[in-house]
């Protein structure tokens, strides 16, 4: 059903549009997307006559500022935060609505003349977030990201695909549309994954020496480029393939020694292992398997009502585990590490690193005896999350 991002880029460079589909729990729609630099008027005509939605021109914030395209409204309360600017026509337009005149308008966004538009008009520019789909998973950002990945100026053309009866085209309808017009189709989710594989997601901010109760470490501080999250690495000199531990932040366990989980014990013994054998511990800001501190406490409320840790997350509307290991892989690449021995009981961490290009050579078990307050939690991790735990220690 879906093509690869590489296949989509090849089509876009050849001047063809592709279908881009967002999440079923977002707008749940497919847009025809083209890169302006490579497109011809026939692509715009296809959008108008066959896709039938609103023709828009996504562009980077830099281009919007260059052309002095101000927001359409001072108070944007769109549920998805779509950043419409004032509508525009090229100054050469007569009615502005024909395929050729709308095409002339979007093509002018490739130029340098910031006085070439009249407003209002018949083309609707949309301003993408600076981080693209890594910041907002919308069609606007997908279009601008695809243009950038094609090596083109960051502007394109998009149009929602509407069925002949006026309803929005959903997955099955989009497949029919794709086959009819011999188009490639991709998901925004796949584009997010592609960018995470290809790009640095973090910036190294500081390197300091850190004496601790567990030994002396070199600490690396990282900030994420597309969010305000910060992470640290505790490193000890090593030879060959390093032992590494990915530890997700747990304030209640790591700092306040909660007995509900085994996080504090895992953190302390992880540092002891790294101090003895060399390697590194990456401390990731992924509180509560990615749902955050307050939501984790709300999940504890559900657990006190009788749910297990997975059921509690789901009762709050979250997946059982929201964590992603792209940032961890990006940190490892920054440190020049491509192969690791992973200290973990969680096979998802192994799969997560491998998915982003890190070679996991061996798994080093990391299990410790349970207590009466966390035995059910550990049993649930084994039974429902697939953690590799020995029964006699639960």
Q: Which residues are catalytic?
A: 321, 323
Q: Distance (Å, rounded) from C-alpha 174 to C-alpha 105?
A: 28
According to the annotation, is 155 in a ligand binding site?
A: no
309 is in an annotated binding site: yes
Report how far Cα 308 is from the mean position of its chain's Cα atoms.
Answer: 28
Q: Is 138 annotated as a binding residue?
A: yes
**CA–CA distance, 291 with 185 (Å, rounded to integer):** 31
Our measurement of the distance from residue 357's CA atom to the centroid of its chain's CA atoms, rounded to an integer in Å, reads: 16
CA distance 348 to 325: 9
Cα gap 84→340, rounded to integer Å: 46
The answer to the question of whether 317 is labelled as a binding residue is no
For residue 18, what are the β-bridge partners? 33
344 known member of a binding site: yes
100 known member of a binding site: no
70 assigned ligand-binding residue: no
Q: What is the DSSP letter of 72?
A: S
To the question of whether residue 311 is assigned a binding role by annotation, the answer is no
- Confirm or deny that 271 is annotated as ligand binding: no
Q: Judge whether 286 is annotated as a binding position.
A: no
d(CA 138, CA 81): 9
Residue from 361, 252, 367 nearest 299 by CA = 252
Q: Which one, of 223, 200, 196, 219, lies nearest residue 336 by Cα?
A: 200
37 is an annotated ligand-binding site residue:
no
Q: Which residues participate in the annotated binding site?
A: 26-27, 31, 136-140, 160, 245-250, 261, 263, 266, 287-289, 309, 344, 349
Q: Which residues participate in the annotated binding site for D-ribulose 5-phosphate?
A: 26-27, 31, 136-140, 160
Q: Which residues participate in the annotated binding site for Zn(2+)?
A: 250, 261, 263
Q: Which residues participate in the annotated binding site for GTP?
A: 245-249, 266, 287-289, 309, 344, 349
Q: Which residues participate in the annotated binding site for Mg(2+)?
A: 27, 139
């Amino acid at each position: 059903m879906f093509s690869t991002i590489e296949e989509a880029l090849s089509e876009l460079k050849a001047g063809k549009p592709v279908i881009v589909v967002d999440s079923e729990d977002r707008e749940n729609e497919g847009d025809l997307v083209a890169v302006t630099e490579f497109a011809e008027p026939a692509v715009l005509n296809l959008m108008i006559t066959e896709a039938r939605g609103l023709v828009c021109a996504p562009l980077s914030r830099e281009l919007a500022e260059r052309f002095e395209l101000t927001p359409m409204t001072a108070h944007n309360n769109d549920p998805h935060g779509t950043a419409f600017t004032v509508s525009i026509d090229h100054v050469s337009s007569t009615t502005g609505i024909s395929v050729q005149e709308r095409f002339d308008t979007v093509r002018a966004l490739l130029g340098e003349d910031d006085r070439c538009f009249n407003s209002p008009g018949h083309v609707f520019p949309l301003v993408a977030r600076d981080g693209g789909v890594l910041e907002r998973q919308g069609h606007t950002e997908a279009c601008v990201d695809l243009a950038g990945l094609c090596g083109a100026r960051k502007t394109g053309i998009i149009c929602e695909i509407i069925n002949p009866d006026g309803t929005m085209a959903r997955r099955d309808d989009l497949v029919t549309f794709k086959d009819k017009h011999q188009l490639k189709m991709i998901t925004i989710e796949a584009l997010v994954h592609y960018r995470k594989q290809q790009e640095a997601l973090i910036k190294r901010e500081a390197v300091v020496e850190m004496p601790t109760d567990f030994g002396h470490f070199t600490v690396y501080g990282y900030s994420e480029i597309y969010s305000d999250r910060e992470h640290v690495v505790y490193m000890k000199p090593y030879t060959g393939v390093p032992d590494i531990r990915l530890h997700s932040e747990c304030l209640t366990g790591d700092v306040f020694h909660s007995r509900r989980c085994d996080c504090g014990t895992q953190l302390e013994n992880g540092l002891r292992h790294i101090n003895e054998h060399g390697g590194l511990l990456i401390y990731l800001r992924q509180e509560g398997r990615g749902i955050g501190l307050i939501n984790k406490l709300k999940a504890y409320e559900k657990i006190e009502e009788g749910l297990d840790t997975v059921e509690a997350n789901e009762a709050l509307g979250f997946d059982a585990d929201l964590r992603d290991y792209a940032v961890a892989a990006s940190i490892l690449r920054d440190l020049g590490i491509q192969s690791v021995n992973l200290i973990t009981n969680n096979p998802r961490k192994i799969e997560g690193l491998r998915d982003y290009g890190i070679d996991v050579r061996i798994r080093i078990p990391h299990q410790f005896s349970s207590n009466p307050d966390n035995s059910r939690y550990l049993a649930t991790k084994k039974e429902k999350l697939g953690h590799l735990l020995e029964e006699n220690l639960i």
